Each structure stands twice: as C-alpha cells, then as structure tokens.
A and B are shown apart, each in its own frame.
Chain A
Amino acid sequence: MVTILFVLTRMIPGDPARLAAGPKAGPEQVAQVRHDFGLDKPLPVQYVRYLSDLLRGDLGRSIQTRRPVASDVKLFFPATVELATAAVFLTVLLGIPLGVLAAVRVGRWTDHATRLLALLGTSVPVFWLGLALQLLFFSSLNWLPANGRLDTLARAPHVITGFYLIDTLITRQWNLWWDAFRHLILPALTLSLSSVAVLARITRSNVLEALGQDYIRTAKAKGLPERVVTFRHALRNALIPTLTVIGLQGGALLGGAFLVETIFDWPGIGQYAVTAITTLDYPAIIGTALISTLVFLATNLVIDLLYAAADPRVRY
C-alpha cells in the first residue's frame, strides 16, 4: 500500500518544493526547500527513509504546512470523523424508517414518495445538493450557517477529543455546543443524502422479502401486533444486509467528505488532502491515504462485529 502510494505520487510531474517556496522563489531557495524535505535524495533513498520513519510511527513533515503530518492528521481528522459520524447517524435515522415505511405501505403514495426520494438521493450530485441547501437554509431562510465549524468569532473549545459536540459538552460550553451543532447540520445532511437513499431502498426490499416469509405469517397468526411483527421479526431479519450497506456507506461517506468539506469549508482531513494533492505534498498525501485506509478497515471490522449482535447465528 505504502509502496503503491509512494510510486503513484512520485509519478505525477510537478515540483512541490517550488510551490512551497513560493512560485517566484529563486532556484537556490527552491533547492533549499527540496533539501529540507529530503527531496534532493535519489528516490530509493527517499523510499527507504520514508519506510523506516513510518515504522517508528513518523509520517513525515508536510511540505506545505511545514508541520508533522501526524499532528496535522490529529488536528484535522476529528472534524471529518465528527462529520461522517453525524452523517451515519442521519443515514440510519432516516434511511431505515423510510425503508420500513415504504415496505409496509408498498404500492401506496408513501412508497412512491420514498422511492422518488431514493432516486433523487442517488442521482443528485453532492456538489449541487450542498450549494442548493446553502442557498435555501442560509441565503433564503437564514436558519442555518453556510460554512465552517463555528461562528467567525467563536473560539474553538479546548481540544479533548477534537469532536466539538463532545468537547463543548465536557467543558459545559452550551452556547458553543449549539453553535457547533447548527454548523454540522447542512454538511451532514449533504453527505448523508445519497446513503439515506441507498439504505432506504435496501431496507425496503429486505423488509419486503422478510414480510413474505412463513414466520411472519405465523407471527401474525399468533395475533402479535403489526408493530411487533414489523420491527421485531421482519426488520431484525432484514438488518444483516442492511448493516453491510451501512458499512460500505461508511467508507463512501469518508470519500464524500472530501467534496462536502470543500463546499462547506469544513476543516477536516478532506480539505487537507485536497490541498495536499493540488500542491503535490507527498508526505501529506500518503499520510492521509494511509489513515483513511485504516479507518475504513476499522469501520468494516466494527460492522462485522455488529453482525453478531444483529443475528445470534453469527458467532466469531
């Protein structure tokens, strides 16, 4: 993985040192920057040095910010995780009820409306959706802020977890919590909409399938209330494939965050990575890619573990 990233980044023609030195810097000054970051060494030497640093947990120093990549990741990653977590919550909170609703009212207007919503959710480009939500909720209605994590003059809470919603609760800064919450809504909604759509469709078809099973007929015949039949019997059995989708969407959300962070000036790892890519900041590109991969793998592990909770037949 590291090798592929290393080779790929070095294959792009470009000189990060020139950009870091300033586009008008003289050749000696560019050479100084190149030397400072070890870019003047032959590629194999750079590679071995990077690997040995990596083994010691050192992700190198960003050419653009001149800070260690690890500290930049620590600085920016919590914002992305907070956004992605909020988006997963929204996905589950909206996607599953919508799917169940469509399944139990199959063929009726609620079903059609849900399907239409799902279609829109998967086909509307994130960029367009983000701008449209900004125009509606900020420009026209003035209900929600357009960008950023906090209001302009609000001072960020003392970093404990890096998640503003949690840090402000711990430090009991209620106004700031509210401020952070309001800023989170539009980006989280934008990020989650396509996942909501996918999840609603999957839940709908799984619940529909489950509702046609014999045990559902038995449950109904026993005289159980419809609510119990739907949620305890049908939904629970439909959850396994749904969980898989949530897991996959978790990864997609992380990728989607790159775009959403740009639209909403969300100071997360997505913005950092976009800047790193456009300025060919090799250590920052590899560092963020590695961390994102690890997080993606960890998310899938959690989902695998959740299978066991959802389905008693699954044992590890």
Chain B
Amino acid sequence: MRKPFRTAAAWLLALAMLAGCSGAKPSDSAQPTDNGQTQQQQKPVDQTLVVGIEFEHAGNDPAIIYDNSSRIIVAMYENLVTLKKDTTEIVGQLAEKWSISDDGKTYTFNLRKGVKFHDGTELTSEAVKLSLERLVTINKGPAWMFADAWTKIETPDPLTVVITLKNPDAAFLSKLAGPAGPQIISAKAIKDHAGDDNGQKWFNENEAGTGPYMLDHWDKGQQVVLKKFPDYWGGWSGKHLDQVVFKFVKEASTQEQLLEKGDIDIAYALPTDQLKSLKDKPPAGVKLTDGSTQNVRYIAVDTQRGPLKDKRVRQAIAYAVDYDGLLKNVWNNLNEPLIGPLPNADPNHFTGTWPYKFDIAKARDLLKQAGYEKGGFSLKMGVIDSTPEFKDIAEVMQQNLKQLGIDLTIDTNAVATVLAQAGKQDTAYDLMPIGNYPDYADSSAMLGNELASWAWGSNGWNFSYYKNDRVDQLLKDVNLTTDQAKRSAMFQEIQQITADEVPLIPVFTRKNILAMRDTVQGFYLRPMMSNSFPVYDMYKEAK
C-alpha cells in the first residue's frame, strides 16, 4: 500500500527539484539568435537595458498614441525639433535650423542631410509634410494641438519645409518639440501602407521612424524589444545600449523583486511606500534617482454649484487641507510641495504669495463670512482608484473638513468612470483630486487646459467649470505675442487671479524617484517628454 504513494511522492519531489535546481538565472538560460532559435549563453547580454513598465504597450502609431506608450515611441521616432536633455530649451532634431517670419506665421525648417529611416529611405521634406498631414487627417489623440494650426505646408526642395500658420502661435515650436508633437515617418511607409485607414492598422504593429532604436519585436501582453538602428544619423561612437526591453510587470512588488535580482534594470512605477523602504535600506546593486517632474496634483473645485459658488467657501477649503501632514507623514517627503497651478520647474511658476496653508481657524472664519459658520453642507469627491495619492488626499480631507462641519463623501471609481462623470457638468464632482502635466513645454499648455472656459469638462481638463473673462482673454493673448517678458507678466496675472478665486487647490508636484540597478549610467528623466528617459545617451557599466 505504501509503495505507490512513496513512488508518486518521489517523482513529484524529483520533478520539483529538477525544475528548481537548474538555478538558471532568467536572462542566461535562453537567448534568441537571428533565426529565432535559442541557445545557451554564459552571461546576460551586455548593453541590454530591461525596463519594468506597469502598462501594456498600446501600439506604435505616433499619430494615435497619446499616453504612457509615448515613452517607448520616443526611442523609435523623432520630431523636427526637440527639448535639450531635461530642460525646456528647444533644439533641432531632424531640422538642423529654422527661421520664423516677423509676423510669427511662417516657419521654415532646414532638414538634416543624410538622415535615414528604419526602412532604408532618406529623410525628405515630403516625409515631414506627409507625417504632419497624416496626424491631422487621422485626427486622434495628439492631433488637437495641430488640427487647425496651418493653412499650408510647402516643400520647396527636398530638405526644406515651410509651414504657414493660420494665426501666430508663440507655443508652436514647443508643440512640435513635445512627445505628442508630430513625429516624422518615412514617406514610403506612409504611402505603401496607407490602405483604407491611413495605415493605422500597419503602424499600430510596425514602425518607420528615424530614431536611434528600432522595433525588434513586440510580444503582446509581455514586452516590447527595441534594437539599435545601425544607420542612425547621430552615430554610435561612445557608449550606448544595444537593446532596450520594455517588460510589462504589472505588480509593483514583482517589479521590486525583479529589480533586486537584477532581472530588470529599471523599475518604472514603484509606489511611494515601496520607494521609502528602498530609500531607507537600498538592496545591494540598487540605486535611486531623484528627479523633478512637471506632473502636478491638485484638487479641482466646482465653481458653479452650491456653496462652492462663493469663492470664500473655496478659499476656506483651501485652508482646510493639511498639506504638510500629507507631504511629511503620508508621503514621507517623496513628493514636493506645489505653490500655484504651474509646476515648480516651470519658468513662469507663480512668484506672488500663495496664501493657503493648513489653518482651520482661518477656514472657519471664511466660512462664517460666507454664512456657513457651522458648515452644515456636504460635498462629494470623485477619486480615481488607480492613484494611491488621490485616496490619501480624500481621506485626509475628509477628516479636515469634518472639523468645519462639512461632510465629504468619497466616490472612488475606475478612471473611465470618474472622467466620464467629471466630464459633464450635471454629473461633475464638487471636488476632484487630479493629476495634470503640460502637453508641451509652454506655460500656456497647462493653464489653458485647467482654467479656460472653452476647456470645461470633457472639452479639456477644466473640471472646476471655472469661467473668468479676464483669464480667458489673457489665455488667448498670451500666444499671440512672442515677447517673453509680456508673456511672463500675463502668466503671473492669471496665477494671481487663481490664487484669489481658487478654482483649484494645488497639493503637490510629483517627484520622480526611480529605482534602478547601479550599472545603469547616463540616466536622466525628461519631465517634458512624458517622463521618458534618453535611451540613446544611456549605457551599462559593470560594477
């Protein structure tokens, strides 16, 4: 009787040991070769960077992708102009130089010579024209910045592009330089794969850019593998990566384990509590980088409804947020305070006095002036469930507002639901913690988005349903002039009005702390480029 069980147990044990004790590190058991076969190799491939990402890659079409996947696409595609490293300074990328007419409407770009696309064709002005036109014809995601921007695009010679704008736009170059700016695609690929959908199906799966890295393969639901483009115009002298793998690892705890074991080189999205423990006690071979972002988190306050119509009530609520408590005790100083609606790193960041600090007495006083001495009303806050910081804000505010006699109901939901509710005025929330970032490196990007009356609800990102004629006028005027001093003054005035009227309550600027292996070199975060990092400038060095 006992024998069969013993035999079975022995088999199971043997199998488990056989599976386990091979001791092979994931990256050295099987390596691909050109013909797709695998073979044993000794060590992990040098200069292969494995990045753990928490999102599934959404596709490769630069005319459509307008979310996290931009971070992957920026390695494969390039723009006419770009931002220098991690700054907001505009420098040429595929355009070597450019000039702007006096009336601010005509932009002439001289293209770099000898630039090759991944499909072997050369960069021409036709490719630029077709790429820009394709973006607005498809009219999806990033197209809103350019939908009505130009009257014509001319190509007087193969290396010159002339864009004539309908109206002068001081932010036009910044728009071209952003991660959602038009990325230039091979003219041949655009024509060959146009099909009946402007090549949307083809470009979703493939790519034809000029970037330093090209798509090697995309295992859906698993990883995107990019490899070095040998003919890259920037050349390959110096130290560079050979391959970049963006590996989909949804769980933060798994990302951390993989990082500690060296199976990934960068963990892209660890929550603050995990970062805190890594910072306090970094495991061997792991380092943390500290970078500012332009990602701000604020609370949109509905200005059109109930007691919140009165700006004194909005001011009272702004005094009733325990900013320091959140930053120090809840987020362990892993985020930065935010003063005013623009990120701290923005050149036009608010220079006036932002009065709001945690001061319940002051809040009570303002409520008294508004006729709500004992509070006595309730507010509803919509919270996106995928952002832990929003839940923190909601819980802390619920306690803070209780002291003023205001009952805060928290409605936590998936992002699709919260945005749909907030997008319509009749279903919008009274309060809503929200994350925002500029779509291009110009202060008008975010202010227009948050405060303009034409950006109400689903028309933009103005979930406060805020309308102020002076602010609207300034937002229109600010892009009609290229005089930076004048523009700066206008940006300051807009922010001063915001400080008085409180359509939004700034809470913090997100710091981007990334955990990575100490072998990773050349890393810096590009806050204005979707928080991507410059894989071309990076390399690995043995420690």
Contacts and interface: CB of A to CB of B under 8 A. Distances in A.
B140 A21 contact: yes
Given A76-B221, A176-B38, A262-B250, A14 B29 contact: no
Contact of B29 (A75, A134, A139, A178): A178
Contact of B39 (A138, A175, A182): A175
Contacts of B99: none
A22 interface: yes
Interface string A132-147: 0011011101111111
A265 interface: yes
Interface string B23-46: 111110111100011111000010
Given A265-B222, A265-B249, A265-B251, A143 B21 contact: yes
A204 interface: no
Contacts of B25: 142
A82 interface: no
Given A29-B141, A227-B1, A13 B31 contact: no
Interface string A235-279: 000000000000000000000000000111101100110010011
B140 A33 contact: yes
B257 A151 contact: no
A173 B38 CA distance: 7
B521 interface: no
Interface in B184-209: 200-201, 204
A279 B55 CA distance: 12
Nearest to B222: A267
B139 A265 contact: no
Contacts of B223: 148, 152
Contacts of B26: 145, 151-152
A279 B427 CA distance: 20
B204 A143 contact: no
A15 B458 contact: yes
Which size bracket describes the interface of B in this complex? Answer: 35 or more
A272 B221 contact: yes
A22 B263 contact: no
A179 B30 contact: yes
Given A138-B261, A144-B20, A152-B223, A97 B423 contact: no
A163 B473 CA distance: 61
Nearest to A100: B5
Interface in B39-57: 39-40, 45, 48, 50, 56
A232 interface: no
A101 B254 CA distance: 36
Interface in B444-463: 449, 458-461
Interface stretch (B314-322, B347-355, B410-418): B410-418
B263 A178 contact: no
A166 interface: no
A32 B139 contact: yes
A65 interface: yes
A13 B250 contact: no
Contacts of B200: 66
B141 A153 contact: no
Given A146-B257, A227-B4, A32 B140 contact: yes
Given A65-B58, A144-B20, A145-B26, A29 B143 contact: yes
A221 interface: no
Contacts of B36: 155, 158
A137 B26 CA distance: 13
Contacts of B24: 182
A150 B222 CA distance: 9
Given A149-B222, A262-B250, A265-B254, A141 B20 contact: yes
Contact of A75 (B20, B50, B201, B220): B220
Contact of B461 (A24, A32, A181, A264): A24
A85 to B, nearest CB: 17
A94 B16 CA distance: 13
Interface in B462-493: none
A304 B1 CA distance: 31
B152 interface: no
B416 A280 contact: yes
Interface in A1-30: 12-16, 18-19, 21-30
Interface string B230-262: 000000000000000101111101100110110
Contact of B31 (A23, A97, A153, A262): A153
A38 to B, nearest CB: 15
Contacts of A141: 20
Contact of A173 (B37, B64, B225, B386): B37
B5 A153 contact: no
Interface in B51-96: 56, 58-59, 64-67
Of the candidates B16, B40, B143, B221, the one having the most CB atoms from chain A within 10 angstroms of its own CB is B221
Interface string A101-132: 10010000000000000000000000000010
A3 to B, nearest CB: 22
Nearest to B11: A93
A75 to B, nearest CB: 6
25 contacts: A13-B420, A16-B416, A23-B419, A24-B439, A26-B144, A26-B460, A28-B144, A75-B220, A139-B260, A139-B261, A143-B23, A144-B20, A147-B249, A147-B251, A148-B222, A155-B36, A155-B217, A176-B38, A178-B22, A178-B29, A179-B30, A262-B250, A265-B249, A271-B56, A278-B416
Given A22-B66, A148-B247, A154-B38, 7 more contacts: A14-B419, A15-B458, A144-B19, A147-B249, A153-B245, A230-B1, A278-B416
9 tightest CB-CB pairs across the interface, nearest first?
Answer: A22-B66, A26-B144, A267-B221, A143-B20, A14-B416, A155-B32, A154-B30, A22-B141, A151-B26
Interface of B: 1, 4-5, 8, 12, 16, 19-27, 29-32, 36-40, 45, 48, 50, 56, 58-59, 64-67, 138-144, 147, 200-201, 204, 217, 219-223, 225, 245, 247-251, 253-254, 257-258, 260-261, 263-264, 386, 414-417, 419-421, 423, 427, 439, 449, 458-461
